[in-house]
Amino acid sequence: MLPVNFTPGPSQVYFTAEDHIRQAFRDGIPSISHRSKSFESIYREAQEGLSQLLNIPDGWHMVFTSSATEVWERSIENLVNEKCHHYVNGAFSGKYFDFAVMLGKNAGKSEVAWGSGFEVPAGPLDSEMIAVTQNETSTGVSVQNEWIANLRAYNPEALIMVDGVSALPHLQPEFSIIDSLFFSVQKGFGMPAGLGVWLMNERCVEKSERRAKAGYKNGTYHTIPSLISNAKKFQTPSTPNVLGIYLFSKICGDFLRRGVETIRRETVYKSTLLYNALDNHEIIKPLVKHKPDRSQTVIVADTGDKTGEIFEFLLKHGLQAGEGYGDGKKTQLRFANFPAHSKEVFEKLSDLLTRFN
Amino acid sequence: MLPVNFTPGPSQVYFTAEDHIRQAFRDGIPSISHRSKSFESIYREAQEGLSQLLNIPDGWHMVFTSSATEVWERSIENLVNEKCHHYVNGAFSGKYFDFAVMLGKNAGKSEVAWGSGFEVPAGPLDSEMIAVTQNETSTGVSVQNEWIANLRAYNPEALIMVDGVSALPHLQPEFSIIDSLFFSVQKGFGMPAGLGVWLMNERCVEKSERRAKAGYKNGTYHTIPSLISNAKKFQTPSTPNVLGIYLFSKICGDFLRRGVETIRRETVYKSTLLYNALDNHEIIKPLVKHKPDRSQTVIVADTGDKTGEIFEFLLKHGLQAGEGYGDGKKTQLRFANFPAHSKEVFEKLSDLLTRFN
């Protein structure tokens, strides 16, 4: 019996994933051409499923990349002539900023300590693109939609990119105040890694097309115009992870059948349990002190010098905690709270942590 | 019962693939971290397996990308300051050239008609990088190692990139006369799509590092220095298609157990059968007339106005021909001859085609 995996990605695989893959083999999905009608209907099913799940407005586009990391690169390459701005409070938001620097952009950042949230935006930024990481997977800090609404109010012209990795499908995106949202599937969607999903509105497409016309380079096969013109035919510019896209379409369907409200209610129930256990613990504490900044989907515990001991204690009971990120490796444990993690395992986890002393 | 798929990628999946994926689920592979020891040992197993299979010399590196298409882009971004040259005789070699143009390089090409091979190189090219597509999947034309040896003799300084898609593992690469070789796994390796494998020698690494030092931009997470520094730890810069890499390691093992010489001998047997059937046919002819240019692994038949009829005839007998590429869609059929295609199905295919009139 494998332990339940609480690492926030690659994480516990959703319980239906294996059966879907078996069915895919029975149906010959791993062999189909990405130019076939079969593939187009899989793409369409995935797009319709996600649209319903996240309530995506008409006019938004959905394309596939190999990862969210790839979207960091492609978004900067396709949407920034000169200036972008990044909100940085952890490893992943920091890497998005680093990519902008590597690509030679005039990149600004608003940086706060790991484990902290950001001050309310107090004025406009002189930037073409603003990047926000809705859920810092390294620290368990979440950005609220109200905060993004403030950012939008001061920056109506800028393209607001939201890295939704590890926030989705729990967090309901507010599509009217952002321009793009992306994630990889090995977090909240409970899938094997190797696929990124990138949503964008028409403003992103127009910006990339304007850049191309003005002689800027957007890239090669994974430029926004190339991704979008293929997506309109429910195709991809090059051979994608077809089996991953198939599985994504099926998992979206499973989530819809379970009901997104049910999933979200359970997510809150599970996170409340765990945060309560941590708040009331003698030794272990939540890393994020300010409650409104606390992620519901990635909960980071400050486990100090007991980290190794707690990890082993949980593992003995069939629960594999996620290691802390980077410097946090020795003093923190992370717990993903995704649809693949049942209420029962969260009850067990909270109970075990409460008993640990 | 699904038909046998002869499309040259995504193609027939190798018969062990599904069992390996089941085992992967049993072992929790879809959940493992790409920073874990388990992942490192999978990467190592894949590298050792491929090294043995292709007899890769010491000092060569193996890294993973999302596709061979990605390698077209990354190789140009990382290895070309100004000038590259492309041998173009089909859709895929043509796209590699197009990418160089899109990336603003001074790109030259030697172009011949689809279905033809290239003249023997007769002098040096003034280019930093020279791209050769060893097996044009769109047309079934193969480039021989002797031809590449000539190219190398005239261009000792240039980096010679070989797109090995659909040639491997059948064709034994001559590593001493090239600098890089890459492929995606949904062709000869009989895997679901979504993974590229990129081999390179130290000269490629040095060139990319020199570029970085001189202030050229190589990209972000998938630069050669980033890929290589991670590969030295048997890791990847970002979360890869872990399940794909696992499966690749297992398929390499399966090929080794079957014996690469056996696989190659069978490939020649199968291609000989089919070319004989085509050469002796009244209506259907091989697209590639010049025998030394004929690919052993992608065999293209000129089926003229009988194309649809032949396709349906074969399908009725459980064989799904690959469509012709691009303009060839209406008048050609393509037949992949990969390890996943048994001698028996090739005997049946040749027999059926011979009977068709």
Q: pLDDT (tens digit, 9 = 90+) per residue, A123-176?
A: 999 999 999 999 999 999 999 999 999 999 999 999 999 999 999 999 999 999
> Which residues in chain B have Cβ-Cβ distances shorter than 8 Å to A184?
239
> Which residues in chain A have Cβ-Cβ distances shorter than 8 Å to B242?
10, 192-194
- DSSP string for A171-220: S---GGG-SEEEEETTSTT---S--EEEEE-HHHHHHHHHHHHTT----S
Secondary structure percentages of chain A, helix, strand, coil, to 5: 45, 15, 40
Beta-sheet strand order (sheet of B332-336): B285-286, B298-302, B332-336, B322-323
Confidence of residue A1 (pLDDT cuts 50, 70, 90): confident
Measured CA angle at B149 (ends B147, B155), to 5 deg:
110
Are the CB atoms for B194 and B241 separated by under 8 Å? yes
- The reply to whether A32 touches chain B by the CB within 8 Å rule is yes
CA B9/CA A36 separation, integer angstroms: 12
Element holding A20 (H helix, E strand): helix A17-26
Interface touch A194/B67, C-beta < 8 Å: no
Q: Enumerate the β-bridge partners of residue B84.
A: B107, B129
CA A219/CA A222 separation, integer angstroms: 7
Write the burial class of residue A223 (CB in 10 Å: 0-12 exposed, 13-18 middle, 19+ buried). buried
Q: Which residues of chain B have pLDDT under 50?
A: none
Write the burial class of residue B145 (CB in 10 Å: 0-12 exposed, 13-18 middle, 19+ buried). middle
Element holding A247 (H helix, E strand): helix A242-258
Both tokens of B73, joined, read: 């882009």
Of B162, B124, B324, B284, nearest to A35 (Cα)? B324
> Which residues in chain A have Cβ-Cβ distances shorter than 8 Å to B18?
22, 25
Looking up tokens 């029962």 gives A344
Q: In a mutagenesis test of the B interface, which of A66, A137, A189, A325 is the best target, namely the one with the most B β-carbons within 10 Å?
A: A66
Write the burial class of residue A296 (CB in 10 Å: 0-12 exposed, 13-18 middle, 19+ buried). buried
Choose among A13, A28, A219: nearest Cβ to B31.
A13
Both tokens of B1, joined, read: 């019962």
Interface touch B30/A10, C-beta < 8 Å: yes
CA B1/CA B7 separation, integer angstroms: 17
Interface touch B240/A10, C-beta < 8 Å: no
CB pairs under 8 A between A and B: 158
- How far B38 CA sits from the closest chain A CA (Å)? 13
- How far A98 CA sits from the closest chain B CA (Å)? 8
- The reply to whether B52 touches chain A by the CB within 8 Å rule is no
- The reply to whether A33 touches chain B by the CB within 8 Å rule is yes
> Which residues in chain A have Cβ-Cβ distances shorter than 8 Å to B244?
194, 241
Instruction: Give me the pLDDT at residue A5, please.
Output: 97
Element holding A75 (H helix, E strand): helix A68-79
3-state SS string for B248-310: HHHHHHHHHHHCHHHHHHHHHHHHHHHHHHHHCCCCCEECCCCHHHECCCEEEEECHHHHHHH
Choose among A5, A238, A243: nearest Cβ to B67.
A238
- How far B122 CA sits from the closest chain A CA (Å)? 31
C-alpha separations of A183 from A9, A169, A212 in Å:
11, 10, 26
> Which residues in chain B have Cβ-Cβ distances shorter than 8 Å to A72?
220-221
User: E-strand spans in A250-343?
Assistant: 285-286, 298-302, 319-320, 322-323, 332-336
- Tens-place pLDDT, residues A124-138: 999 999 999 999 999
- The reply to whether B11 touches chain A by the CB within 8 Å rule is yes
Q: Which of residues 189-228 of A touch B (CB under 8 A)?
A: 191-195, 217, 219-221
Q: Which of residues 281-300 of B touch A (CB under 8 A)?
A: none
3-state SS string for B230-246: HHCCCCCCCCCCHHHHH
Choose among B18, B99, B217: nearest Cβ to A220.
B99
Residue B102, sorted as left (phi over 0), alpha (psi -120 to 50) or beta, turns out to be alpha
Interface touch A30/B10, C-beta < 8 Å: yes
- CA A286 centroid distance within chain: 21
**pLDDT at residue A319 greater than cutoff 90:** yes
- The reply to whether B28 touches chain A by the CB within 8 Å rule is yes
Torsion (CA) A247, A222, B136, B185 in degrees, nearest 10: -30
Are the CB atoms for B182 and B164 separated by under 8 Å? yes
Interface touch B31/A5, C-beta < 8 Å: yes
Interface touch A10/B2, C-beta < 8 Å: no
Interface touch A193/B242, C-beta < 8 Å: yes
Identity of the residue numbered B50: L
Element holding A136 (H helix, E strand): strand A135-136
Main-chain dihedrals φ then ψ at residue A109, nearest 5 degrees: -145, 150
C-alpha separations of B101 from A52, A265, B264 in Å:
40, 52, 37
- The reply to whether A2 touches chain B by the CB within 8 Å rule is yes
Longest dimension (CA), chain B: 64
Domains in chain B, start-ordered, CATH in brackets? 4-12+260-355 (3.90.1150.10), 17-257 (3.40.640.10)
> Which residues in chain A have Cβ-Cβ distances shorter than 8 Å to B230?
none
Q: Enumerate the β-bridge partners of residue B133.
A: B163
CA A228/CA A245 separation, integer angstroms: 16
C-alpha separations of B298 from A232, A302, B190, B318 in Å:
31, 57, 14, 19
CA B161/CA B143 separation, integer angstroms: 13
The Cβ of residue B186 has, within 10 Å, a number of other Cβ atoms equal to 32
Output the average pLDDT for chain A: 97
- How far B17 CA sits from the closest chain A CA (Å)? 9
- Tens-place pLDDT, residues A62-119: 999 999 999 999 999 999 999 999 999 999 999 999 999 999 999 999 999 999 999 9
CA A161/CA A319 separation, integer angstroms: 35
Write the burial class of residue A21 (CB in 10 Å: 0-12 exposed, 13-18 middle, 19+ buried). buried
CA B19/CA B161 separation, integer angstroms: 34
- The reply to whether B239 touches chain A by the CB within 8 Å rule is yes
Give the whole-number percent of chain A exceeding pLDDT 90. Answer: 98
Interface touch A194/B30, C-beta < 8 Å: no
**pLDDT at residue A9 greater than cutoff 90:** no
Q: How far apart are the first and last CA of chain A?
A: 27
- The reply to whether A66 touches chain B by the CB within 8 Å rule is yes
Instruction: Give me the pLDDT at residue A357, please.
Output: 86
- The reply to whether B326 touches chain A by the CB within 8 Å rule is no
C-alpha separations of A299 from A14, A260, A283, B33 in Å:
19, 21, 16, 18
pTM of the model: 0.97
- How far A146 CA sits from the closest chain B CA (Å)? 31
- The reply to whether B127 touches chain A by the CB within 8 Å rule is no
Both tokens of B135, joined, read: 């097996």
Choose among A11, A220, A239: nearest Cβ to B73.
A220
- The reply to whether A243 touches chain B by the CB within 8 Å rule is yes
Residues B29-53 as b/e (b if ≥16 CB within 10 A, e otherwise) read bbbbbbebebbeebbebbbbbbbeb
Both tokens of B244, joined, read: 């794909």
